[in-house]
Structure 1
Amino acid sequence: MAQSQSWWEPPQTPPSPSQKPSNLEFKPMASTELPEVKPEDSDLLTRRIHLLGTGSIGTLVAHSLRILPNPPPITILLHRPEMYDDFKAGSRIVRLVNKMTEINDEQTGYDVDVKDNHEGKIYWRHIAHNVGERRTPLNEIKEEELLPSGELYIYTLIVTVKGPSTVAALRSVKHRVDGRTTILLMQNGMGQIDELNSQVFTDPATRPTYMLGIISHGAYMQGPFAVVHAGFGSVALGIHRDTDKYPLPPTDNHINTSNLPEEDRKTMFPSDRDLYSNMSSRYLLRTLTRSTVLTCAAYPYLDLFQLQLEKLVSNCVLNPLTALLDVQNGSMLDNPPLTRVQRLLIAEISLVIRGMPELEGIPNARMRFSATRLEALFRGISQKTARNSSSMREDIRNVKYPEIDYINGYIVRRGEEQGIKCVLNYMIMQLIKAKHHYNTRSDTKSVPYGAGGVEAQELEIDKKGGPVVLEDVSRPSG
């Protein structure tokens, strides 16, 4: 696998201060750069993929994997028994409705693991898709998957739960994973991995490999295990660089890597092949990139990190402001007082991002994350998703704890590391938390659609008359 130019490779000559930026677009890794693995590889412990999270994105991924040619065995993790009751009541079917064509596609064949308490300990009870039937299960369990407890080992896991639930959710399966496992996080915001490392997977030697997925699909739930695919997008995938295993190099850009011992080179300047050393990571990446529905593309770590930051910036402005004002995304445009607020927030965020050590020495990073360019990205996303309701607005309206700690909170924490007091982002965090606190204390019912200055006819309505809520859409560049 070829090494991408996006890695921590020092430039041969320092860039001139007057040098104009070249290309600000990212390109996915070519097929020749992707790690190779065959399903029949003897080192592949199991093809089974576990899914944690049954919201719109989790359901979309579950359906998309099931319709693959030669699909992998899929096990859906259900953390409450009543969720399994809903699954049984729906004939163990996962449904996907294409909003454009109105085609309703139903898929079966899913195994489930239901969380129980056994003698005071968490126990995941495995239930095959054809439980009670006298025939060979579609997804046979390999001997290598069985743990002494009778639970199944988790080789690959896709997580789509909300940010605030991540630690608790993964703590419940900690005993089923180890260093061979790969966990893919498909979530809003950033900073969840830092919490997992400090609270769940504290030992780098036995810590699973993390992958990240940035989603630009629009989807909303129609019912239990039924999702409407309302906006087709893509998924940017990539490996996460664990800085406990691969510490960031010194800020000296004139290190001659040819003089470094191979072990030091791999540690400070890992190639794509180095970071994809885990067999389960290569298998999961290859499986997801086969999906024509998800349209996944793999990016080198630093490219993916910058794509994450670009999406985060828009979410830092769009999500809390739409939640506080209770308006659609399009209301962020053409409002001069609100534009001033947006620019102040973006200027503070830009200052923090441009000082991050991960971006030290990356060509065009200061231009990419300048306040001017970030404002243009934010306005473009606001226009593209003008009729959408942000996820944070919906969390506030439905009295769910918002993901503000992983959006603006991430900027506040990264600013503190640099000695920057992000007073504007901190204030936004507290305002969102205050609104959630007020809603939880209020005796009144949540405000229905159409209130808060939003006209009912401006909203897309599904056939049952309910509001259409799309995921935050931020299509990766390139």
Structure 2
Amino acid sequence: MWHRPWRPPPQLDEGEVKREAEKELSREKELSRQLMREEEKMVFSSTIHVLGLGATGKYIAHALASLPNGPPVTLLMHRPLLMQQWHDEGAAIRVLVNGEHHVQKCFNVESSAKFETQDPQQQFPRFGPNLEHSAEPPDTVIGNLVVTTEPSVTLAALASIKHRLRKTSTICLVQDGLGIIERINSTIFPDPHDRPTYVLGRITHDLKSTDRHFTIVENRVGGFYCSKLPQVVETKEEYYAPVINRTDFSWSLHARHLVGSLLRTPGLNVTSLGHKSFFARQLSKLAVGAIIGPLSVAYDCSNDQLLYNYSASQNIRYLVAEISRILLSLPELASFHKIERRFGVNKLDSLVLRCIRKTGKNTSTMLQDVRAGRKTDVDFYNGYLIQRATELGIPCPRNHMLLHLVKGRQARRSREANSYIPFENES
């Protein structure tokens, strides 16, 4: 009987191993996409939840509710007082434009955190049974979430509803500054395979709050810029296989629904950008905020006073040069055409001066927060620049100084506001 002679298995070089691993990953990725699509179809929700009820959150919720045949809009409230104010003011959001009130009442209300009301049976029958609420927050899945909270409180706000978010969910973060996504991933969603889809947004409408919490004024019409971030997954099949980073640019059902709803809202003037274009725009805003905000805290003055103080104007120049060097070195911007025109010293200097002249006697948000003893967003301005400069090996002593100056003044004011009494052996 004839037997086939034994031959050793073919030896694959490193390139072939990598190609085989990529093919296997591609097959698994396609299967994962199919499973995700099926899962999304089962859990898809058209409701858009809004977390953060400052002027921006209320404006976006009002605009979405004004859409004909638009998606249901749910407001997430974290304090009993806020819910009480909502009902006391007629369970509606009012936007004042050119002296004319635009009222929207088509909202659902949910608590985003567990809280006890003064009366467990408290209800608000004047505004309909759908507005009753209990101390227990719901456990239903949130498919579409718009977050407008300040970056300094975003982690805590998301942690309270983490159990309601899935990998099929889409979170739209409408904030200034950068670096919040990295913190959300490390704190809230450490497993890359469980992370939702992120959309970054920035709004330029000039909005102002009023004495009535759910009434705002639109002083000037602006725009809304948004961009869906690609998802990056790191895979290593076996110990001998290479690590493969895959960038997924596909759109989930919830991402298409949320961004599509925003684009259909005429009052928002939404423009959808590629993630690199959005990143560049956000960096320009960040550079200006990283100079005006901290310096207004350092000199405890309105924005326009920075132009009339020789020491402050000199510090602006030094900071512009330091920040420009960091931005021009970022690898994400290497492919941009004529990057020097956008982030060079002369361009950044003109942006800062233009913003100071435009805002005039206004007090920066960072200074308002410090005076009130609240946490500031300096970590997402100067802190982000310091992080990127460290990665690139670029010294940035002035940003370090301003970061700790702002934090120190905020901590001092917070202690004063809380009648802080130090103890001798306190660590």
TM-score category (smaller protein): 0.7 to 0.9
Counterpart check, 1:88 vs 2:87:
yes
Distance (whole Å) between structure 1 residues aligned to residue 195 and residue 124 of structure 2:
30
CA 1:267 to 1:155, structure 2 compared with 1: closer, same or farther past 3 Å? same
Counterpart check, 1:184 vs 2:181:
no
CA 1:361 to 1:207, structure 2 compared with 1: closer, same or farther past 3 Å? same
Within 5 Å, give how 1:7-406 maps onto structure 2: 45-98=44-97, 101-117=98-114, 133=128, 151-222=139-210, 223-244=212-233, 267=246, 275-406=249-380
Per-residue CA deviations over 1:167-202 (Å, capped at 9, x if unaligned) read 111111111111111100011211110100101111
Displacement after TM superposition at 1:392 (Å): 0.9
Distance (whole Å) between structure 2 residues aligned to residue 239 and residue 429 of structure 1:
30
CA contact (8 A) 1:92 1:129 kept: no
The AA in structure 2 aligned to 1:184 is: C
Displacement after TM superposition at 1:111 (Å): 0.6
Match in the other structure for 1:470: none
Displacement after TM superposition at 1:131 (Å): 9.3
Structure 1 gaps of 5+ residues are 1-40, 119-126, 139-148, 247-263, 269-273, 446-478
Displacement after TM superposition at 1:364 (Å): 2.1
Give 1 or 2 for the bigger CA radius of gyration: 2
Distance (whole Å) between structure 1 residues aligned to residue 375 and residue 44 of structure 2:
38
CA 1:226 to 1:113, structure 2 compared with 1: closer, same or farther past 3 Å? same
Identity across matched positions, percent: 30
Q: What TM-score, normalized to structure 2?
A: 0.78
Match in the other structure for 1:143: none
CA contact (8 A) 1:43 1:279 kept: no
- Structure with the bigger RCO (C-alpha within 8 Å, sep 6+) is 1
Name the count of aligned residue pairs: 362
Among residues 407, 414, 437, which one is paired with 2:381 in the alignment? 407
Displacement after TM superposition at 1:361 (Å): 2.8
Displacement after TM superposition at 1:150 (Å): 5.7
Distance (whole Å) between structure 2 residues aligned to residue 418 and residue 435 of structure 1:
29
Match in the other structure for 1:6: none
CA contact (8 A) 2:323 2:385 kept: yes
Displacement after TM superposition at 1:133 (Å): 4.2
Distance (whole Å) between structure 2 residues aligned to residue 443 and residue 198 of structure 1:
32
CA contact (8 A) 1:155 1:280 kept: yes
CA 1:380 to 1:43, structure 2 compared with 1: closer, same or farther past 3 Å? farther
Match in the other structure for 1:35: none
Distance (whole Å) between structure 2 residues aligned to residue 238 and residue 443 of structure 1:
40
Report the structure, 1 or 2, having the larger helix content.
Answer: 2
More moved, 85-94 vs 407-416: 85-94
Structure 2 gaps of 5+ residues are 1-39, 116-121, 132-136, 236-243, 420-427
Distance (whole Å) between structure 2 residues aligned to residue 199 and residue 444 of structure 1:
28
Distance (whole Å) between structure 2 residues aligned to residue 57 and residue 163 of structure 1:
14
CA contact (8 A) 2:176 2:282 kept: no
CA RMSD of aligned residues (A): 3.0
